[in-house]
Amino acid sequence: MRVIFTCGGTAGHINPAIAVARMVMERRPSSEVLFVGAEGAMETQLVPREGFHIETVRIGSFARGLSLGAIKHNTEVFFMRRKALKRAREIITSFRPDVVVGTGGFASYPAVAAAQKLGIPTAIHESNVKPGLTTSVLAKHADRIMVGFAEAAQHYKNPERTVVTGTPVREEFIFGSRERARDAMGIPQDEKVVVSYWGSLGAREMNRTIANVMRLECEDSARFRHIHSTGSFGWKWMPDLLRDMGIDLDRQPQIDMREYIFNMPEAACAADLMVCRGGASTLSELIAAAKPAVIIPSPNVAENHQEANARALERAGGAVVIVEKDCTPELLYGTIKELLGDPARLARMSEALREMAVLDAASRIYDTICGLADGER
Q: What is the pLDDT of residues 175-216, one digit of tens each?
A: 999 999 999 999 999 999 999 999 876 789 999 999 999 999
Within this chain, do residues 321 and 367 fall inside the same structural domain, yes or no?
Answer: no
Judgement on whether residues 154 and 294 belong to the same structural domain of the protein: no
Instruction: Beginning with the edge strand found earlier in the chain, give each strand of the sheet holding 193-197 in spatial order.
Output: 255-258, 225-229, 193-197, 273-276, 293-295, 319-321
Residues 152 and 233 reside in one and the same domain: no
CATH code assigned at 151: 3.40.50.2000
What are the tens digits of pLDDT across the range 43-75? 999 999 999 999 999 876 655 655 666 566 566
- The dihedral through the CA atoms of 40, 43, 46, 48 has a sign that is negative
Based on the domain organization, do 291 and 333 belong to the same domain? yes
Domain that holds residue 43: 2-167+359-373
212/286 same-domain check:
yes
Flag whether pLDDT at 311 surpasses 60.
yes
Residues 248 and 215 in one domain: yes
Residues 88 and 196 in one domain: no
The H-assigned helical ranges of 96-153 are 109-118, 133-139
Q: Specify the pLDDT at position 106.
A: 84
The per-residue pLDDT for 330 is: 97
Cβ atoms of 359 and 174 closer than 8 Å: yes
- Among 76-80, 125-129, 248-252, name the one with the lowest average pLDDT: 76-80
pLDDT value for 105? 84
User: Is residue 195 located within the same domain as residue 312?
Assistant: yes
**Same domain, yes or no: 178 and 148:** no
Task: Looking at the structure, tell me whether residues 253 and 279 fall in a common domain.
Answer: yes
Query: What Cα–Cα distance (Å) separates residue 57 from each residue in 60, 82, 110?
Result: 10, 11, 8
Q: Are residues 190 and 251 in the same domain?
A: yes
User: What pLDDT is stored for residue 86 in this prediction?
Assistant: 93
Q: Domains in the chain: how many in total? A: 2
Model confidence, pTM: 0.86
Do 148 and 252 share a structural domain? Answer: no
